[in-house]
A and B are shown apart, each in its own frame.
Chain A
Amino acid sequence: DAKTTQPNSMESNEEEPVHLPCNHSTISGTDYIHWYRQLPSQGPEYVIHGLTSNVNNRMASLAIAEDRKSSTLILHRATLRDAAVYYCILRFWGSQGNLIFGKGTKLSVKP
């Protein structure tokens, strides 16, 4: 499976937008980009996923570079509840479903 690279940690201020980057230079044409997040003492939570086009949902937006070698998860207005570890995961379309987690980015949100 293609690997992803994320910063170990990021900080944000409450009510400001947050851009979480992910590099995946070896992505293949059939790899979907998935984002999950894990709040303290909880299991991971699905955030969003996409293939080529930018995606929006009630939680976040996913911006995918034209060459697909990087993507950015955008939280439009960070709240204290968004403090979590964010995982960027590539998932082959034909896979059995297994998610291969890296270490993710730990996001801290300051009031």
Chain B
Amino acid sequence: EAGVAQSPRYKIIEKRQSVAFWCNPISGHATLYWYQQILGQGPKLLIQFQNNGVVDDSQLPKDRFSAERLKGVDSTLKIQPAKLEDSAVYLCASSPGHKQPQHFGDGTRLSIL
């Protein structure tokens, strides 16, 4: 089966610019997650979707981050405006349901200048 696809693989922007990441989960997976991984740390959940509804966005900085999952399939994560502290790898994961193991994409590495 095809894995979780993410794009772009790398992105470099200047602070205060906006950026968007795209995720295509494994076909049929109802649960989708976005994680942020800062260098040297483990991933931290930003937002979780069940189909196209938000289950948990308690750690999403909503003043600058937004995410959507249209039609319960693909998802986009946006940052506007970006800050230096947003430099990280953004990982998307999916699972058939919230109790099953998660499958991760290889992430988008974001660098803020």
Contacts and interface: CB of A to CB of B under 8 A. Distances in A.
Interface of A: 34, 41-46, 49, 87, 93, 95-104
Given A49-B101, A98-B48, A42 B106 contact: yes
A43 B55 contact: no
B42 A87 contact: yes
Nearest to A95: B98
B3 to A, nearest CB: 9
A59 to B, nearest CB: 12
A101 B40 CA distance: 12
Given A43-B107, A45-B104, A101 B99 contact: no
Given A96-B55, A97-B33, A104 B101 contact: no
Contact of B102 (A42, A46, A95, A104): A46
A43 B103 CA distance: 9
A97 B102 contact: yes
B56 interface: yes
B104 A43 contact: yes
B113 to A, nearest CB: 21
Given A96-B56, A98-B48, A98-B56, A43 B42 contact: no
Given A34-B101, A43-B93, A103-B42, 14 more contacts: A41-B106, A43-B4, A43-B91, A43-B104, A43-B107, A44-B43, A46-B101, A46-B102, A46-B103, A95-B98, A97-B97, A99-B102, A101-B41, A103-B41
Contacts of B44: 101
Given A96-B56, A96-B98, A101-B43, A43 B106 contact: yes
Interface of A is mostly: loop
A60 to B, nearest CB: 13
Contacts of A102: 42
A98 B93 CA distance: 11
B88 to A, nearest CB: 13
B48 to A, nearest CB: 6
